[in-house]
Amino acid sequence: MNFDDTPQEAEFRATARAWIDANAPKQYEEELRKSSLGRTVLKNANILEVAKAWQKKKADAGWACLHWPKEYGGRGASPIERVIWQQEEGPFGQLSRMFIIGHGMCGPTVMAFAREEHKRTYLPPLASGEKVWCQLFSEPAGGSDVAGLRTRAEKDGDDWVINGQKIWTSGAHYSDYGILLTRTDPTVPKHKGLTMFFLDMKSPGVEVRPIKQASGASDFNEVYFTNVRIPDHQRLGEVGDGWNVSLTTLMNERSAIGAAVSTGFPELFEYCSSLMLDDSLAIEDRAVRSKLANWAVKASGLKYTSMRAISALSRGERPGPENSIGKLVAGSMIQDVATYALELQGAEGVVSGPEDAELAGRFQAMLLRAPGTRLEGGTDEIMRNIIAERVLGLPGDIRVDKDVPFNKIPTKGR
Amino acid sequence: MNFDFSDDQKQLRDQARKFLAEKCSPKAVRVVLDGKAPYDKELWKGLAEMGFLGVAIPEEFGGAGAGHLELCVIAEEMGRANAPVPFSSTVYLAAEALLIAGSDAQKKKWLPAIASGEAIGTLALFEGKGNPSPKNVKLTAANGALNGVKKPVADGAIADFAVVAARTGSSGRDSDISLFLVDLKAAGTEVKSLTNLDPTRGQAEITFKDCKAEPLGGAGEGWSILTEVLDRAAVLCAFEQVGGADRALEMGRDYALDRIAFGRQIGSFQAIKHMLADMYVSATLARSNSYYGAWALSTNAAELPEAAAAARISATQAFQHCAKNNIQVHGGMGFTWEFDCHMYYRRANAMALGLGSLTYWEDQLIDRMRKKNAA
């Protein structure tokens, strides 16, 4: 049991560190280090531009999408090298956020299902951040039940004609391309009538409308499709096989391994170490200490669970299912942590917003962003189902719509 | 990086699991639970023969000379099997105290006897209510004789010797406390068995009356030695708790798959699935924290105090959570004496108190984190 790199890993780490040290946009380091959930902003720069510039610089030097093959813009690195890179990139990794969906989900799907010429055309600019991709799966009628989606694709000559609406599309407003899951046959059971495509987001008939979230920010969009034409050669996988294609997309969400999840704990510990309650420091209060200790062991538990997964990668194994707990634990924890930090401030917690003093002001943004964390990328309830079914081997939910043609499934509760 | 046990250690785990499945069935545990024996003597002998009792004791003192990672592996299996033997008191507390502070003669006398299963040892620290603290130690030591009462003492009624915390000063500082080694078969002690939450591991009250004792470690060093002993034991107990939590989770999962209600497996109801998923989450967090504790223990790292407290809290919570909800998944049958669920429930809640309660360890963790941040 040790935390040491192998000689090859140590060499890779040293190379990565030296390159980052010489090339990273250091002027933003402090701001990025201090950013926490719900608050990644740069005061004097457009974060999208800074992120794109950093990504391009990495790509030119062979440090983008490390685990992708070289011909598609990657480095052909091993999974453990990718983790080491993430560790070394540290706060600058915050700048990769806008590329996570493209690199983690769209890219691998295109790689698995697109024609060779498309892969060579579209993947390198995706890797370098010159083109940003989004993922168009969720719909008003298909959230956790994504296979319940209704956006239609109908064949017309060599094209498909798309009509419908997507929702919760992260980054659609700055995306150049998207992967799109559609219904091509509503007369068969829901999982069987789906087909996947990729499309140019500038295609005529695509309309992107930002959603104003409960937090007031707008990270997500609604995307409307009105007679949008997609050529058949942009189909990913067979007609009717879209569900299986989408499972490939979702299984590629392995990017989470090695990336630190936000729990809010370091911020709270730091805050309690300097906050005065009546005549003494918050951290000297018995009730505060008990709360802190309980969150501390969750945060460290997640950290070392991730280390165990990285160890499996280092041995060349596929990590076990342990890592699936990260989002489930961190999501509700950050919500509880933020609530408690405001609770400690008493009435003033209501008014200590982001413009307030550095420490106290962090928690309102966290509080308002946290509900989304518990919903996006699989709700807490879906995550529990996944753990129960895939890890513990419990039976799947009974699906009353399993064998029913999609157009016969009821659409209203009452 | 390999933040995991080695292949050899995993093989040792398989060997221990197989041995305990054979020699420590729930039926065997029930012999002690039902009060028909104070502990499982046959199992104790078997553990000695397998080399498990002395796995972390150096060869020169009759042990296997393996190490603490190997001991963590065995501890997890002991917890899984709910073994009714004085393993934690003898191996984690008494043996570790001797390893840390014993003179060569003391080690030579007791460590080989522990490894061979001939001697059972324990730590006599508590004196009634309260958590580990120098001010709670009232038993006095003067001119090599102890006077006072220790309660509860784990496995005190079957122990051959005890490491005893005694007051040797009254300055109000940690240095008021010194440790002593007492042969419990000699004169000067009176031992009374106590009824307790987990009858598969005994508890006793020991009265010391002008009891002859030899110092263990230097005068006034008792509290610092004890702190280290408790940290080490916290990691080792955490592995027992992780083993128990995993077993309780497994029992719940298996029952949810077997039991039919409303025409379906109860494990197909989300209320049950989500309860089991949450148990898995606790058990996984506890395992990962305990691995970090194992690393710190085995490398004698400066991080041990913090790692031990985190492992202790996380594993205590996980075992309590899993044992409690295992009963809930079982429904009414889980509340019967006949089903094994309550044995894990009892063990989980007794272990939660044995080295001091959660409140104590939460306090320790925060103190230690602050110290680290300040440094």
Which residues does residue B212 pair with via DSSP β-bridges, in sequence order?
B145
Flag whether residue B52 sits within 8 Å of chain A, measured between CB atoms: no
CA distance linking residue A396 with residue B217, whole number of Å: 59
Q: Residue A88 CB: number of other CB atoms within 10 A?
A: 21
Flag whether residue B206 sits within 8 Å of chain A, measured between CB atoms: no
Measured between beta carbons, the chain B residues lying within 8 angstroms of A312 are 4
Flag whether residue B276 sits within 8 Å of chain A, measured between CB atoms: yes
Q: In the prediction, which pLDDT does A255 show?
A: 47
pLDDT at A217 over 90: no
Maximum distance among all alpha carbons in chain B?
74
Most B CBs within 10 Å: which of A1, A8, A328, as the mutation test of the B interface? A1
Q: Residue B12 CB: number of other CB atoms within 10 A?
A: 22
pLDDT at A273 over 50: yes
Both structure tokens of B35: 């009060």
CA distance linking residue B226 with residue B124, whole number of Å: 11
Distance from CA of A269 to the nearest CA of B (A): 9
Q: Is B149 exposed, middle or buried (0-12, 13-18, 19+ CB in 10 A)?
A: middle
What is the average per-residue pLDDT within A328-332? 94
Flag whether residue B301 sits within 8 Å of chain A, measured between CB atoms: no
Q: What is the rounded average pLDDT for all residues in chain B?
A: 97
Q: In the prediction, which pLDDT does B133 show?
A: 96
A30: helix, strand or coil: helix
CB contact under 8 A, A393 and B277: no
Q: Pick the most confident of A251-265, A353-367, B234-248.
A: B234-248
What is the average per-residue pLDDT within B194-211? 97
CB contact under 8 A, A394 and B4: no
Closest CB from A1, A300, A305 relative to B5: A1
Distance from CA of A299 to the nearest CA of B (A): 9
Strands (E), A250-301: 276-277, 280-281
ipTM higher than the 0.90 cut: yes
Q: Residue B121 CB: number of other CB atoms within 10 A?
A: 25
Single out the residue of A210, A219, A173, A169 nearest to residue A365, CA to CA: A219
Give percent of chain A above pLDDT 70: 94
pLDDT at A356 over 70: no
Tens of pLDDT, residues B159-193: 999 999 999 999 999 999 999 999 999 899 999 99
Q: In the prediction, which pLDDT does A358 show?
A: 66
Q: In the prediction, which pLDDT does A314 show?
A: 81
Which run of H or of E encompasses A107? helix A107-113
What is the average per-residue pLDDT within B257-278? 97
- Chain B, residues 84-143, CB within 8 A of chain A, namely none
CB contact under 8 A, A310 and B3: yes
- Confidence band for A259, pLDDT divided at 50, 70 and 90: low
Closest CB from A2, A293, A395 relative to B2: A2
Q: In the prediction, which pLDDT does A39 show?
A: 60
Single out the residue of A170, A176, A167, A267 nearest to residue A217, CA to CA: A170
Q: In the prediction, which pLDDT does B2 show?
A: 87
Tell me the CA end-to-end span of chain A in Å, nearest whole number: 58
Distance from CA of A29 to the nearest CA of B (A): 21
Distance from CA of A383 to the nearest CA of B (A): 9
CB contact under 8 A, A301 and B2: no
CA distance linking residue B275 with residue A117, whole number of Å: 49
CA distance linking residue A156 with residue A161, whole number of Å: 7
Backbone phi, psi, residue B77, to 5°:
-70, -35
Tens of pLDDT, residues B48-102: 999 999 999 999 999 999 999 999 999 999 999 999 999 999 999 999 999 999 9
The amino acid at residue B239 is F
CA distance linking residue A158 with residue A229, whole number of Å: 10
- Confidence band for B149, pLDDT divided at 50, 70 and 90: very high
Closest CB from B276, B280, B295 relative to A1: B295
Q: Residue A410 CB: number of other CB atoms within 10 A?
A: 9
Flag whether residue A382 sits within 8 Å of chain B, measured between CB atoms: no
What is the average per-residue pLDDT within B258-276? 97
The amino acid at residue A393 is G
Q: In the prediction, which pLDDT does A365 show?
A: 87
Q: How does DSSP assign A204-239, residue by residue?
A: TTEEEEE---TTS---EEEEEEEEEEEEGGGEES-T
* pTM of full prediction above 0.90: yes
Give percent of chain B above pLDDT 90: 98
CB contact under 8 A, A290 and B6: no
- Chain B, residues 312-371, CB within 8 A of chain A, namely 313-314, 317, 359, 361-363, 365-366, 369-370
Single out the residue of A240, A128, A248 nearest to residue A183, CA to CA: A240
